[in-house]
C-alpha cells in the first residue's frame, strides 16, 4: 500500500514530537530570610551593630528564709492543758504566759506544805522558849529546828511545782506554731509551742558542689524573695557537702528589720564564669507570631532573620542563635 507524501510527512513530524524530551518545571529555592521594610531612618540611632562580647554566666538556685534560733517550748511538769494564751504569729516577751496547766493537784500540795510549815514554825517557837528557860532539852531543840527545815523544804518544792503549772516563754520571739490545746496532756519533753527569733533570720541555699569556688565567706550575692530584691554577704559555708544531693549549704545575712517569715523562698544568683555571646539592643528584637526576629541589613536592603534570644542585660539582649556578630540590625 502506498502512502501519500503529505501523510508520510505528518507521521514523521508526529514521531519527532513524541521523541522530544519534556520540559522540566523550574523550582525556586526557599530562603530563610524574608524582605523587610527599612527602619524609620536608615542611619543614625536607628541602626546598631550586633556586638560579640564576653558575658558573665549566672547561676540561679532556690533560697529560703530561716531563723537561726528555733525554740520548742514544753511544760516542766505533768498535767492537762487548761488554757492557752498565745497563737501562731503572736510576738511574745521573755516570761510571758503561754499556757496554763490544771493546777488543782499542785495547789493541794502547796496548801498542805503551807500548813506543815506553819505547824513546824509554831513548834519551833514553843521549844525555843522552853529551851531558853532550860526546860526543853538540847535534843528537843534540835528536833524542832530539823522539822522546821524539812517543812520549809517541802513548801519550796510545792511552790516550785505550782509555778511550773504555768508555761512561760523562755525567750522573746514570735510564735511559729501552737502544738497543743485545752484538754491535751502535757509532760516534760512534749512541745506545746514553737518559737523563732525574728532578729536572727538568714537566707539559706544549697549550691552544687562544683560551685564551691564561687561562694566564699564575705562574698556578696544577689537575692530576690517575693517582690523584694537585695544583696547580702555570705556568713556561713558548710564545711562538708550533702552526699545525697551533692550540694553545699551556704547562709547569707538578712537585715534584722526585714519582715519575712521562716519558710519564705526566692532565688539566689551568682556568677560562675564567662562566655562569648552576641548582643544587640533590646528594641531591635520583635516578634512575628511566636518567632523572634531582627532586621538585618544586606547591602542596600533589609531582611528579617529569625533569632533565639537569651538573658537581657540592661538595654541589650543576648542572641543565642541567628547572628554571628558584626551584622547591622535595625532598631524600632
- Residue 186, SS3? strand
Q: Please give the pLDDT value at position 129.
A: 87
For the chain, what are the domain ranges? 34-57+275-330, 60-69+197-272, 71-195
Q: Rounded mean pLDDT of 144-160?
A: 88
pLDDT tens-digit profile of 18-37?
Answer: 444 444 444 333 345 566 55
Considering only residues 195 and 36, tell me which one the structure prediction assigns the higher pLDDT: 195
- The mean pLDDT value of the chain amounts to 83
Mark out the alpha helices in the chain (DSSP H runs).
Answer: 5-19, 104-132, 138-163
Find the radius of gyration of the CA atoms of the chain: 44
Average pLDDT over residues 64-89: 91
Residue 5 pLDDT grade (very low, low, confident, very high; cuts 50, 70, 90):
very low
CA distances from 98 to 101, 162, 193, 261 (A): 10, 16, 8, 21
- Mean pLDDT of the 316-321 span: 88
Provide the pLDDT confidence category of residue 43 given band limits of 50, 70 and 90.
Answer: very low
Q: Say how far apart CA 254 and CA 163 lie, in whole Å.
A: 38
One fold for both 34-57+275-330 and 71-195?
no
- What is the predicted pLDDT for the residue at 8? 44
- Cα of 239 vs its chain's centroid, Å: 21
Helices (H) and strands (E) in the chain, counts: 3, 21
| Section 31-57 average pLDDT | 65
Provide the β-strand partners of residue 292: 287, 307
Residue 11 pLDDT exceeds 70 = no
Q: Looking at residue 163, what is its pLDDT?
A: 85
Topology of the domain covering 34-57+275-330? 2.40.420
- Which band of pLDDT confidence, cut at 50, 70 and 90, is reported for residue 9? very low
Look up the CATH number of domain 60-69+197-272: 2.40.30.170
* pLDDT at position 140: 87
Is the CB of residue 174 less than 8 Å from the CB of residue 92? yes
**What was the pLDDT predicted at 33?**
59
pLDDT in tens, 167-192: 999 999 999 999 999 999 999 989 99
Tens digit of pLDDT for each residue in 258-276?
A: 778 888 999 999 988 887 8
194 pLDDT band, cuts 50/70/90, is very high
Q: Enumerate residues 6+ apart whose C-beta is below 8 A from 98.
A: 73, 84, 85, 86, 92, 167, 168, 169, 175, 192, 193
**Which of 130-139, 261-270, 308-317 is predicted most confidently?**
261-270
User: What mean pLDDT do residues 9-16 have?
Assistant: 42
Is 268 in contact with 62 (CB distance < 8 Å)? yes
**Sorting pLDDT into bands at 50, 70 and 90, what band is 215?**
confident
Q: Sorting pLDDT into bands at 50, 70 and 90, what band is 311?
A: confident
Q: What percent of the chain has pLDDT over 70?
A: 85
What CATH code would you report for 71-195? Answer: 2.40.50.100
Amino acid at each position: 500500500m502506498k502512502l501519500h507524501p503529505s501523510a508520510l510527512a505528518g507521521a514523521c513530524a508526529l514521531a519527532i514530537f513524541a521523541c522530544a524530551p519534556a520540559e522540566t518545571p523550574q523550582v525556586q529555592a526557599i530562603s530563610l530570610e524574608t524582605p523587610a521594610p527599612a527602619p524609620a531612618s536608615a542611619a543614625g540611632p536607628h541602626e546598631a551593630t550586633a556586638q560579640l562580647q564576653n558575658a558573665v554566666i549566672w547561676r540561679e538556685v532556690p533560697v529560703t528564709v530561716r531563723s537561726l534560733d528555733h525554740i520548742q517550748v514544753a511544760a516542766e511538769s505533768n498535767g492537762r492543758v487548761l488554757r492557752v494564751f498565745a497563737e501562731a504569729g503572736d510576738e511574745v516577751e521573755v516570761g510571758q504566759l503561754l499556757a496554763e496547766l490544771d493546777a488543782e493537784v499542785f495547789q493541794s500540795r502547796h496548801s498542805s506544805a503551807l500548813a506543815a510549815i506553819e505547824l513546824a514554825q509554831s513548834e519551833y517557837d514553843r521549844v525555843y522558849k522552853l529551851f531558853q528557860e532550860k526546860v526543853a532539852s538540847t535534843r528537843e531543840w534540835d528536833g524542832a529546828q530539823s522539822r522546821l527545815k524539812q517543812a520549809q523544804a517541802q513548801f519550796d518544792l510545792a511552790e516550785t511545782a505550782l509555778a511550773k503549772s504555768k508555761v512561760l516563754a523562755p525567750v522573746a520571739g514570735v510564735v511559729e506554731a501552737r502544738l497543743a490545746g485545752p484538754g491535751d496532756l502535757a509532760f516534760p519533753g512534749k512541745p506545746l509551742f514553737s518559737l523563732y527569733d525574728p532578729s536572727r533570720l538568714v537566707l539559706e541555699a544549697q549550691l552544687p558542689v562544683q560551685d564551691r569556688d564561687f561562694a566564699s565567706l564575705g562574698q556578696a550575692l544577689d537575692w530576690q524573695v517575693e517582690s523584694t530584691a537585695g544583696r547580702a554577704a555570705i556568713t556561713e559555708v558548710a564545711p562538708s557537702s550533702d552526699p545525697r544531693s551533692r550540694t553545699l549549704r551556704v547562709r547569707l545575712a538578712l537585715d534584722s528589720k526585714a519582715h519575712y517569715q521562716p519558710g519564705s523562698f526566692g532565688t539566689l544568683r551568682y556568677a560562675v564564669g564567662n562566655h562569648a555571646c552576641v548582643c544587640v539592643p533590646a528594641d531591635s528584637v520583635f516578634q512575628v507570631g511566636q518567632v523572634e526576629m531582627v532586621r538585618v541589613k544586606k547591602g542596600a536592603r533589609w531582611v528579617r532573620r529569625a533569632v533565639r534570644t537569651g538573658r537581657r542585660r540592661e538595654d541589650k539582649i543576648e542572641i543565642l542563635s541567628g547572628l554571628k556578630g558584626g551584622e547591622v540590625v535595625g532598631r524600632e
